[in-house]
Amino acid sequence: MKAVMQDFDRQTSQRFEEYNERIIKNRQKCKEECEKDIQKIILKDKLEKELMDKFATLQTDIQNDAIPTCVCEKSLADKVEKTCLKCTQNLGGIVAPSLGVLGGIAEGALSVWKPVAIKAAIAAAEKAGAAEGAVAGNAKGMEIVIHFLKDWGVDKFCSEIYGTFISTNRYAEVTKFVNAIITKRTQKCTLLAANSGNEVMCSQFDISFGINDAAGNPLARPPVDNFISKKINQLAVQVKKTADYVTETTTEKVTAELTTKQTTAINATYASYEITIIASIIAIIVIVLIMVIIYLILRYRRKKKMKKKLQYIKLLEE
């Protein structure tokens, strides 16, 4: 997602730089031409004013047939107007396609990037949710298994086996220690080991595990080994159900939270890029409008001067 965004930024920046260079070059050229033609118009107006002052001192009884006819040429104002019109048209020809091309490229890139980014964000959220769910489920399973093992006295009767199980940090591994627990009880609590001083420990373990009651009466059906194995396996089955439920709910919760967070971030990024594109297009449109306004101002000034000239010619004819 980051690579796609960087590539889009690079391409968009490059195209805008190229476009700005063309705009600056054409604008400077038009400005120079307009300034040159305006200077010519000012000079001509100055000369015309001087001629009018001189005509004022001459005879005014000029006959109509004495005015020579001539072929009129386009004035400098016409040329300036035409030049600025060409500049405006050229800029319009550059800007209009550029708006479509750049806008299309930007919108196309964003349209491609957004679904891909959202899809990648959802996949990442699902993966992270599954990982956190598995951790939460295993932690809950370990919590329950440890509680029952302590309640049954396994942590004291088989401390080494209990410590090994804790080090695995996997609740499902408890079934693999069933044989070890049975072997340990056989070694400590058989008739052959009766004189080893383990009577109290064995009695307490059998009571805690539910093999005998407090009076020493048997509660479990023989053989005892099967009772121990069945009880631990049943514990593993029940714990698995609880752990799976915790895993599922945690996965769904984390996935939903991460998906919402990532989607919100992607939508915010998408909106910011759209705003940038719209702002750029508005700036280009403003430039075109300014050129049109300049053209209209020059046209108005030319018409005003032409009106003065026509009045002057009419005065001479009279």
Predicted confidence (pLDDT) per residue in 184-240, tens digit: 888 888 754 555 567 778 888 888 888 888 777 877 777 888 888 888 999 999 999
Predicted confidence (pLDDT) per residue in 18-47, tens digit: 877 888 888 888 888 878 888 888 877 777
Residue type, 178: V
129 vs 14, which has greater pLDDT? 129
Query: How many Å separate Cα 207 from the centre of its chain?
Result: 63
Predicted confidence (pLDDT) per residue in 137-180, tens digit: 999 999 999 999 998 888 888 889 999 999 999 989 999 999 99
Q: Looking at the predicted structure, is the pLDDT value of residue 85 above 70?
A: no
Q: What is the DSSP string of 94-151?
A: HHHHHHHHHHHHHHHHHHHHHHHHHHHHHHHHHHHHHHHHHHHHHHHHHHHHHHHHHH
Whole-structure pTM value: 0.53
Q: What is the DSSP string of 220-286?
A: SPSPHHHHHHHHHHHHHHHHHHHHHHHHHHHHHHHHHHHHHHHHHHHHHHHHHHHHHHHHHHHHHHH
